[in-house]
Structure 1
Amino acid sequence: MHGLDTETLEMTLAAISDFAEREFTDERLIELDEADEYPADLIRRMCSEELGIQLLFIAEEHDGMGGSAYDVYRVCERMARIDLGVATSVLATFLGSDPILMGGTPEQQHHWMSRIANEGLLMAYGATEAEAGSDLGSLKTVAVPVAEDGEVVGYRITGQKQWISNGAVADLYSILANTEKGPTWFILEKGVEGFSAAAPEHKHGIRLSNTAALYLDDVFVGADALVGTELGQGLVQAQQVFGYTRLMVAAFGLGGGWEALDRAIAYSKERIQAGGPLSEKQGYTHKLIVPHALRLEAGRAYIEETAERIDEGTHGHLNTEGAIAKYIATEAGNDAADAAIQALGGYGYTHDYMVEKIKRDVRITTIYEGTSEIMEMTIAR
């Protein structure tokens, strides 16, 4: 994939940074975090003509910018440095549209992707259930065909989804349900009768994202809601994008870890102890800064290599490589954020200094889109 030219990518990153400087100040982020508030108006503005961040994920033939894996990694890292909850909300639309891109007919792809591009629709990826996280084969949600005169005219879907990003705020949902031929993706729009969301989860971190359970009570969808033309392709379609989506979460870990570490570095230059700044004391820098910078940049190197191989389009799905990138970068990011709290001492442990919040946020990167333990299993295979 060609992707964006360097100038366009840098302009995109600069526009995101400018928006963040105006709208996501430290004070505002702390306020929203403490209130456990999803900033709906700001997310909508980011996915409107004002910023148009969703266009990066969408091909040019569907009215998007046609960003490459490398472009998306760079944007995900920048978003994570602003706020991981906000970054999660934006990525959820991309993740939610993956079943359409992987399994939809050309007509479905153009219809839905162009609507996301032009209307700024938010999506949610409805796969996970209480008893089916990494093991999606255990899902209990079912889709029963509805026939008239011997022809299938739709499906009735019943079940419950758990831990769904954008769950209560999305306009469009991709829902994985069991059919007579196996797990299958369906597209649902908000407001369908029998389809509802629970109250948002009260989370440890990424509190600026909306995470909620979904309830489907005999929800009827037309036959055209089936993604593609065949039943039973859901798990195959999901597997096809893990290399890509886990690379983006790796970028989240990288961005969150570096944001925390950069704040620790700035503090170390100003904090005077025993006659000099902490930045000049090896006992401080060689424990709390240098090892974490090294691990983060090792993660970056693997992310970039994997992104380039994905963009070449000749190496398969790279699920193992995506797992390696996620494991390295998210574990490094989590450790770096923890070290940043230690680096700031008592200040780092308070709400007024952002590293405490960043640590709570970056922790999720070692859990969602496959835990670190699942990454180890994937790599071992």
Structure 2
Amino acid sequence: MPGLDHETREMVLDTLKKYAHDKLPPEYLIQLDHDDEFPTQVLQELYDPQHLGLHLVFIPEEYGGLGGSAYDIYRVSELMASIDLGIATGVLATFLGTDPITVGATPEQKKYWMSKIADEALLVAYGATEPQAGSDLGTLSSKAVPVTENGHVTGKAVPVTENGHVTGYKLTGRKQWISNGGVAQLYTFLANAPGGPSWFIVERDAPGFEKGKQEDKHGIRASNTAALFLEDVYVDADRLVGMVEGQGLAQAQAVFGYTRLMVGAFGLGAGWEALRRAIRYSQERVQGGATLDKKQGYTHKLIVPNAARLEAARSYIEWVAERLDGGEEGLQTEGAVAKYTATEAGNQAAEDAIQALGGYGYVKEYMVE
């Protein structure tokens, strides 16, 4: 996968840095976290081609996007996470929500939906997790019941054919912990059809489709997380991703290596930002006649090990990205390892940054907590 050339990638990253500097000062980000508020205006500006068009990095060129590679998306994800994990999650959720379309849709569906997302800068959400079916998607309870030509609802497996034995589906079920759940304009929804788990495309205003309140989370509070409730939500047959039932789990598995890599990049970006704040503090704070960065008991406990762990995680992320961009498929295990090593390193860096700042580390104004 060719991806962006170096000049274009650096332009995207530099533009994003400038936007964050001008529009996302620490005071604003702290207030978002305090208010548990999804920054709708920020996401609109990030997606607006006149500002950044950031969502275009995730969309193939043939559908109006920039066609970013795994490496490009890792770099964007890392930078976004260093700015704010909540805003970064809002961006990544759109990428995740388009995955079933990217890997499983027919050419006609891809052209229509990916072009629509690119042109209209739509927020997208990925509706897989249920209250009793998190990582174990095989236990999902959401149903997709076919509707025949005469409007009669049947539970039998009726093939979708060119002459239209099935006109649509009625979707019923509940989804939990859905990023962008309350704010997206488009949703991919996993449900059990007669032929097996299948993805469906659902628009925000479909009758019978309700969104829950924004969850009051411990962290990443600028990200909208909400439950979804569907009760006999009708979608046309051409909203079945791939036009064949029973492909949903395979389509989900196909991108786990890719999406886990991006979550790993979040750990890398947030961890390094916490560490940078600790380093700056250590260069200013004087104890015992010298700044803390001159004291090995401090740096070799709270700074150096975290830098080593984070850069080791970066090397693994870039190795997996290179393999994905080289055309290897799957890599679910490698993606999981990247996610684990980078997020564990990021969490440890954030924890040590709190300790590195002493009492200040526990105060929201200093942002490492």
Normalization by structure 1: what TM-score? 0.92
Deviation at 1:244, TM superposition (A): 0.4
**Given the alignment, which residue of 250, 266, 269 partners 2:264?**
250
The residue identity in structure 1 corresponding to 2:263 is V
Structure 1 equivalent of residue 74 of structure 2: 73
CA distance in 2, matches of 1:336, 1:20: 22
Distance 1:61 1:93 in 2: 18
1:1-381 correspondence to structure 2 within 5 Å? 1-49=1-49, 50-149=51-150, 151-313=165-327, 315-356=328-369
Unmatched tracts of structure 1, length 5 or more? 357-381
Q: Distance in 2 between matches of 1:275 and 1:143?
A: 70
What amino acid is the match of 1:228?
G
Helix, strand or coil for the counterpart of 1:335? helix
Contact kept, 8 Å, 2:99 with 2:255, in 1: the verdict is yes
Distance 1:6 1:292 in 2: 28
Aligned-pair identity in percent equals 63
Code of the aligned partner of 2:292: L
1:251 Cα deviation from its structure 2 partner: 0.3
> Deviation per CA, 1:136-158, whole angstroms, max 9, x where unpaired?
01111000000125821100011
Q: Which amino acid aligns with 2:352?
A: A
Secondary structure, aligned partner of 1:316: coil
Distance 2:269 2:3 in 1: 21
Query: Which residue identity lines up with residue 265 of structure 2 in the other structure?
Result: A
Cα deviation, residue 23, structure 1 = 1.2
Is 2:237–2:243's contact at 8 Å kept on the other side of the alignment? no
The CA distance in 1 between the partners of 2:100 and 2:269, in whole Å, is: 26
The alpha-carbon deviation at position 316 of structure 1 amounts to 2.5
Contact 2:123 2:180 in 1 (8 A): yes
| C-alpha displacement of 1:117 | 1.0
Letter in 1 for 2:4: L
Structure 2 segments unaligned to the other structure (5+ residues): 151-163
- The alpha-carbon deviation at position 195 of structure 1 amounts to 0.1
SS of the residue aligned with 1:77?
helix
d(CA) in 1 for partners of 2:329, 2:118? 27
**1:366 alignment counterpart:** none
Shift of 1:88: 0.4
Tell me how large the CA RMSD over aligned residues is: 0.8
Provide the C-alpha distance between the structure 2 equivalents of 1:316 and 1:32, rounded to a whole number of angstroms. 38
Off by >2 Å, runs of 4+ in structure 1: none
TM-score by length of 2: 0.95
Deviations 1:30-56 (CA, angstroms, capped at 9, x unpaired): 011101111101111111121100000
For the residue of structure 1 that corresponds to 2:130, the secondary structure is coil
3-state SS in 2 of match to 1:237: helix
Matched to 2:299, the amino acid is T
Query: How far is the alpha carbon of 1:351 from its aligned partner?
Result: 1.1
